[in-house]
Structure 1
Amino acid sequence: MKKTFALFLLKCVLLILPFLALLGLYFYDDPFEVLNEYKTYYKSPVAVNEGYVGWQHYRMQRDSLKYNSFLLGNSCTMAFQIKDWERYIPGGRAIRLYGSAERLGNIYRKVKALDAIQDSIANVLILVDYATLKQTQITNMSTQVLHPEVTGQSNWEFQMCFLQTFFNPDFCVAYVDYRIFGQYRRYMKGVINSGVVERNCITNDVFNPREKEIADCGEAYWEKHKKEFPARDTVEKIAPPIIMKKQLDMLAEMRDVFVKHGTNCKILINPRYNQVRLNPEDVKQLQEIFGEGNVFDFSGINEYTSDIHNYYEKGHYRPLLGRKMLEVMYGNK
């Protein structure tokens, strides 16, 4: 009987050892950079939560740098370098607070958090599109979960999002493989960063490495990456209406925050490569809330979306287009 029980215990120990080893690796490496506070982030090879890291940069430096201007939206915000924006907002001290596949629910909660923390919100530039406006709920996905300071979520709940992701086989296998061999493999996409991305921890700017590739290759870049640019026709496509009561309530609350702070707020509707135009009714709703002169619709078929040279690939446009749109929005002031 004792021998059987001892054998059972041995089997249990052998079963749990891999789990304990992985748990130890997680706490030792801190692959998502959420267990500890760092002076600079993005040292991990893992694709971290951009929204969390951006908010950490803001949180650690807001007292010393006195931020008063905020760039909000999805990854398309990388087309707007803070130094370019600050040219149009005298006295503005800006930071980019974006999130991967950012949703309206996230932007709304960031605005509410800024209202509670900031004495001054002088300028806000918000990038939206159909996908952004569609989502009003927040998510606990490790790549999109918001900073606890924004949501009021307990640190335990926040940390569990990342621990669960780490033990997901798709993530864990790729991470351990890379940890042992230090070699990026194609199946690791979405888990391990395939290259080094240059960032600015003061402004939270990101500099897409494809910009250098374009400088090196010239026109050949778009031929080399032509599979990333699906063919388009000349028939304009219009997205169905997406702004409903929930969106209206959130947008109106954000507007009230900006009125309270005397904020110069601009809403930019992204010039997506697919040239699908945001529904005119949605544009009208945004104009009624934020003011017609503060909403700029660059979606659809136009001079900005027609030029393939404005894009890295179908999902992201370049800073040269960002500068053109800043001139349209602020140039006449």
Structure 2
Amino acid sequence: MFLKFFKKILIFLIPVILLGIGYFVFDPFHILHAYEAYPDNYAKSLNRDRISTQVFLNNNTKQDYRSFIFGSSRSSVFYTKDWAEHINDKTPYHFDASCETVYGIATKLEFIEKQGNKLDNVLLVWDRSIFEYEQDTLGCVFIQDYRVSQLPWLKYQTIFLNSYFSQGFFAAFYDYMIFKKFRNYMKTFLEFRKINYTPVVNDFIFTSYIDEIKADSVKYYNQPNFFYERSPEKQLVGKVIQPYQVQYIERIQQVLDRNKTNYKIVLGPTYDQKYFNAEDMKVLEKFFGKEHIYDFSGQNEYTNDKTNYYEIYHYKPNVARDIMNKIYQK
């Protein structure tokens, strides 16, 4: 009787065991090993924070990075090669993360300092979302690398393993791996657009968007339900900086002061045209001073033109270049 029961249990467990073996063999989230490069088309499953941390560790001994860009995916269009022209540094590093938080930036700065790097130049590309997100509530794609956050390694790995089994990710992953064909149900787990990660400097490039716009910009910007109409009224928002976040702002300021860093904070031109809250601005000015903060939120030459955006979440490199030209002009 027991033997029959054991056989049934074993038969039931075989798929789970095979999936478990597959997880460790194929490393679908690219977190079990250190990688020199990362594949395209996995932006919805690869953790950008992990990529930024690993590429930094891969190259830091040789490059001895001294200039850094921090922010969410919106900071990605501030290409390091464009920024390099303003700071006299040929190899700045882009240390961004998807849905970045003020806590994430504070710990990254401290992590870099602990590696022995000087922070000569820093560009902080912020908007309200830096204070609105909480990384530990957003899932495995957004959790901070355990080497920076000091999260226990086992807990970090468990978060990804749970996502692999509980959200149906494994079905899409193996389906695409075997047949190399995207199916509609995969959109939840895999990225249909082409995304590129550049080596050494770690820029993040929206390749598919760029190619689609080049092919037919009129068609691209007239896609149905792609851009919503904004109100002509001035869009004000409530405070987003929470009292507990002030400690992270202070930690950022302390690292920058210790390193006598040449730094600038850009409050980016988000498509929603909402202005950065005045009370929140006072908090930033208290720690960083008005001279370091450049506010491009609200209604302006960038936000009024939808062709300055890839979609409602990300503005384009031409906007970033123009902003850098303005804030670094002599």
TM-score by length of 2: 0.94
Q: What is the CA–CA distance in structure 1 between the aligned matches of 2:31 and 2:138, rounded to whole Å?
A: 14
In structure 1, runs of 5+ residues without a counterpart are none
The answer (yes or no) to whether the contact 2:213–2:220 under 8 Å persists in 1 is yes
The answer (yes or no) to whether the contact 2:84–2:91 under 8 Å persists in 1 is yes
The answer (yes or no) to whether the contact 1:71–1:96 under 8 Å persists in 2 is yes
Partner of 1:228: 226
The answer (yes or no) to whether the contact 1:105–1:138 under 8 Å persists in 2 is no
Secondary structure of the structure 1 residue equivalent to 2:177: helix
Q: What is the CA–CA distance in structure 1 between the aligned matches of 2:90 and 2:260, rounded to whole Å?
A: 14
Partner of 1:53: 51
**Correspondent of 2:5 among 2, 8, 16:** 8
Q: What is the CA–CA distance in structure 1 between the aligned matches of 2:176 and 2:305, rounded to whole Å?
A: 38
The answer (yes or no) to whether the contact 1:198–1:206 under 8 Å persists in 2 is yes
In structure 2, give the amino acid aligned to 1:320. Answer: N
Residue-by-residue CA offset, 1:277-332 (whole Å, 9 max, x unaligned): 11111122212211111111111111111011110000011000010111121123
Q: What is the CA–CA distance in structure 2 between the aligned matches of 1:44 and 1:237, rounded to whole Å?
A: 35
Alignment of 1:1-333 (within 5 A): 4-42=1-39, 45=42, 47-91=45-89, 93-135=91-133, 138-139=136-137, 141-209=139-207, 210-223=209-222, 225-332=223-330
Q: Check 1:148–1:27 CA distance in 2 against 1; reply closer, same or farther (3 A cut).
A: same
The CA deviation at 1:187 is 2.0
The CA deviation at 1:47 is 2.6
Moved more, 319-328 or 128-137: 128-137
The answer (yes or no) to whether the contact 2:135–2:144 under 8 Å persists in 1 is no
Moved more, 129-138 or 140-149: 129-138
Q: What is the CA–CA distance in structure 2 between the aligned matches of 1:257 and 1:109, rounded to whole Å?
A: 10
The CA deviation at 1:150 is 0.4
The answer (yes or no) to whether the contact 1:31–1:44 under 8 Å persists in 2 is no
Moved more, 60-69 or 131-140: 131-140
Q: What is the CA–CA distance in structure 1 between the aligned matches of 2:268 and 2:224, rounded to whole Å?
A: 22
Q: What is the CA–CA distance in structure 2 between the aligned matches of 1:247 and 1:154, rounded to whole Å?
A: 22
Q: What is the CA–CA distance in structure 2 between the aligned matches of 1:107 and 1:119, rounded to whole Å?
A: 16
Q: What is the CA–CA distance in structure 2 between the aligned matches of 1:244 and 1:196, rounded to whole Å?
A: 36
The CA deviation at 1:245 is 2.3
The CA deviation at 1:175 is 2.1
In structure 2, give the amino acid aligned to 1:38. Answer: Y
Q: What is the CA–CA distance in structure 1 between the aligned matches of 2:137 and 2:131, rounded to whole Å?
A: 15
TM-score by length of 1: 0.93
The answer (yes or no) to whether the contact 1:111–1:254 under 8 Å persists in 2 is yes
The answer (yes or no) to whether the contact 1:42–1:48 under 8 Å persists in 2 is no
In structure 2, runs of 5+ residues without a counterpart are none
Moved more, 226-235 or 75-84: 226-235
RMSD, aligned CA? 1.8
Q: Check 1:255–1:68 CA distance in 2 against 1; reply closer, same or farther (3 A cut).
A: same
Secondary structure of the structure 2 residue equivalent to 1:277: coil
In structure 1, give the amino acid aligned to 2:103. Answer: G
The answer (yes or no) to whether the contact 2:125–2:266 under 8 Å persists in 1 is yes
Matched-pair identity in %: 28
